[in-house]
Amino acid sequence: DADVTQTPRNRITKTGKRIMLECSQTKGHDRMYWYRQDPGLGLRLIYYSFDVKDINKGEISDGYSVSRQAQAKFSLSLESAIPNQTALYFCATSDPGRAGASGELFFGEGSRLTVL
């Protein structure tokens, strides 16, 4: 079983709909992230959280919100989806105490979202 699990894996929705992408992890890591991947643009950080009470905006947070319900769960919401939010979304975790592996992220399998 995957250590970082994302649901749904694929979703097609319409403009204006509210969408939630969920992420759960069994790695026991405190730090969790949401990234967006677009062809030719690489991975861009949307939001990140270092513990349950901590939420921080990333590079491209406009149009998105997040909730850290527990150490193991971090969800991403699009309150009113628009077509340019069509992308592949990744949840990731990291462990700051992991010596010699600074910068290592553990990614989920991705959630492909299409907004019509």
Shortest Å, Cβ 83 to another protein: 22
By beta-carbon proximity to another protein, the closer residue of 50 and 75 is: 50
By beta-carbon proximity to another protein, the closer residue of 9 and 17 is: 9
Residue whose pair of structure tokens reads 């969790």 in the numeric block: 32
Shortest Å, Cβ 80 to another protein: 26
Question: How many CB atoms sit inside 10 A of residue 48's CB?
Answer: 21
Shortest Å, Cβ 66 to another protein: 13
* Strand-strand pairing, 65-70 and 73-78: antiparallel
Is the separation of the CB atoms in 75 and 47 below 8 Å?
no
* Strand-strand pairing, 65-70 and 56-57: unpaired
Q: Which amino acid is at 110?
A: G
Shortest Å, Cβ 46 to another protein: 11
User: ∠ CA 81-46-101 to the nearest 5 degrees?
Assistant: 150
Which parts of this chain interact with another protein (CB under 8 A)?
Answer: 4, 31, 33, 35, 40-45, 48, 50, 56, 58-59, 90, 92, 94, 96, 100-105, 107-110
By beta-carbon proximity to another protein, the closer residue of 7 and 80 is: 7
Beta bridge partners of 11: 113
By beta-carbon proximity to another protein, the closer residue of 26 and 56 is: 56
